[in-house]
Structure 1
Amino acid sequence: MRERALWVAAFTLALGLCAVAGEDEGFVPIFNGKDLTGWDGDPTFWSVRDGCIRGESTKEKPCKRNTFCIWRGNDAVKDGILKDFEMKVSFRIQNGNSGIQYRSQDCGNWVVRGYQAEVENAKGKVGFLYHEGGRGWLVNVGEKMVIHPDGKKEVVAKLGDKMELTKDYREKDWNHYRIVCRGNRIQHFLNGVQTIDLVDNQLNPIDLVKGRDEKKGALSGIFALQIHSGGPMVVEFKDIQLKLLAPEPEKK
């Protein structure tokens, strides 16, 4: 009887390990947990502490404009330009406002423009999609939206109530984003719950990296982390993992 119980326990553990391996299949870490190798940010504000990328502004060293820590790529993505991908990021913010940039344009001097997943201690708001330096607030939490070529926004369905979708958000504690970009479709998942779904038909050409029309979206671009201008703040990021996806036809 005891041997059978041990066998069942071992089998259950093996199944669990297989499930975890399946979930992480194809993902690779893009932050080594030790230093900012492969990353580029103003050292006044960005550092590595306790295995996390840490963004911090203080009264003595205020952040006067939004500044970003930019991922510069790896052997598979030499220029840091991502097209179709899935990204996992754990984050913790103590105060202030931050964001996770993707398919964005590097404007130099640690300035970035493009899509942003909101990072803020505010249920009902964290998880929405913002367009930094461009179209501004794009998709509210709970919306499934299509943006037409002329820029008109159409909410085609609701994913749920914004407060209900973000009820598991942990203020000043670790939370988890999963961002999926394939073709012109973008999805945010916060702590395993989908918060937005966007089909963007107002786009720049896929290979236009510099000189974009900032009032349009993008099918490719860089990945970066934000410190927002304003008062003192601290934000941390860890367990940053990337999975490259096969291209998919654009949706309408």
Structure 2
Amino acid sequence: MKISFALSLVCLFSVGSVASAEDTATAEAADTVVLFDGKDLTGWVGREDLWSTEDGQIVGRTTDSDPIDGNTFLIYKAEEFENFELTAEFKIEGGNSGIQYRSRVVDEAKYVVSGYQADIDDANKFAGILYEEKARGILALRGETVTIGSDGKKSKVQFGNAEKLGNGIHPGKWNDFRVVADGNHLQHFINGAMTSEVIDEQSDKAAKTGIIALQLHKGPAMTVRFKNIKIRKL
């Protein structure tokens, strides 16, 4: 009887654990938004001469023969997001790009936005930093945790070596970017390693919600590719 009772408890625990895992997976799936289906740019707006889809990827491309005169963006207009975990794969060849989040459109005609940016660059100098486009500029460099006070003053802690973190990023190859925005706590991860972190307490500047967008930077010719772009709402 004791053995049977013990076995029953083990079975009940196992069934409960499986059910709990399934419930969690179902809840996460329900809270996940696929921003790009690998087929077309439904939900996105931007310059059609610069953005396209190829082989299941979003591709942004500029040329030296017809350079752009300012930063421009492919904007996801279907929905805005507040607290979330965003995951995407990127590959960049030349130039500078980034994933905008909690951002806002400031020029609809030219597809220009302002807001938080998870930075990407071919030179691998800025990849992974937190930059605020058309606002406060660099908020945290690679390897930094920065707390921005209500007065805008920054307090910095170095949690990692910028060069070593950069060695884990591979320009010209596919990389995984993960952005976590939870309240005023913002974190960037590339290929599993945290690259920058900000606690933004400047309430008159800190964005709490906004759009997602992808950047093409003015300057030399470049190509940037994105795929598997998803957001899990927190």
The answer to whether TM tops 0.5 is: yes
**Bigger radius of gyration among the two:** 2
Listed as ranges, the gaps of 5+ residues in structure 1 are 1-17, 74-79, 205-215, 246-252
Q: Deviations over 1:11-55 (max 9, x none)?
A: xxxxxxx9xx96x94333210111111111110111111111110
- Residue 170 of structure 1: how far off its partner (Å): 1.2
Instruction: Name the aligned partner's letter for residue 244 of structure 1.
Output: K
The aligned amino acid for 1:233 is M
Is residue 54–residue 237 contact of structure 1 (8 Å, CA) maintained in 2? yes
Partner of 2:121: 120
Instruction: Indicate the residue corresponding to 2:14 in structure 1.
Output: none
Determine whether 1:151 maps to 2:152. yes
| Counterpart position of 1:188 | 188
**1:88 Cα shift?**
0.2
Amino acid corresponding to residue 50 of structure 1 in structure 2: D
1:203–1:219 Cα contact (<8 Å) kept: no
Is 1:202 aligned to residue 211 of structure 2? Answer: no
Q: 2:96 matched to which residue of 1?
A: 97
Structure 2 distance, partners of 1:124, 1:25, is 34
Letter in 1 for 2:212: F
Q: Work out which of the residue numbers 16, 32, 46 in structure 1 matches 2:51.
A: 46
Separation in structure 2 between the aligned mates of residue 43 and residue 235 of structure 1, nearest angstrom: 15
Q: Which amino acid aligns with 1:188?
A: H
Alpha-carbon offset, residue 165 of structure 1: 1.9
Whole-Å separation in 1 of the counterparts to 2:212 and 2:163: 28
Partner-residue secondary structure (3-state), 1:165:
helix
Deviation at 1:60, TM superposition (A): 3.2
Which residue is 2:84 aligned to? Answer: 85
Unaligned runs of 5+ in 2: 1-20
Name the one with the larger strand percent: 2
Separation in structure 2 between the aligned mates of residue 62 and residue 86 of structure 1, nearest angstrom: 34
Inter-partner Cα distance in structure 1 for 2:115 and 2:183:
16
Aligned to 1:135: 136
- How far 1:115 moved relative to its partner? 0.5
**Matches of 1:60 and 1:32 in 2, distance apart?**
31
Indicate the SS of the match to 1:81. Answer: strand
Go from structure 1 to structure 2 and tell me whether the alpha carbon gap of 1:194 and 1:53 turns closer, same or farther (over 3 Å shift).
same
The question of 1:232 aligning with 2:191 is answered no
Tell me what 2:35 maps to.
Answer: 30
The aligned amino acid for 2:121 is E
Corresponding residue for residue 69 of structure 2: 64
Higher helix share: 2
Q: How far does residue 62 in structure 1 lie from its aligned partner after superposition?
A: 1.5
Over aligned residue pairs, what C-alpha RMSD do you find? 2.0
CA distance in 2, matches of 1:160, 1:122: 19
Aligned length: 209
* 2-structure distance, mates of 1:184, 1:169: 26
Q: Helix, strand or coil for the counterpart of 2:218? A: coil
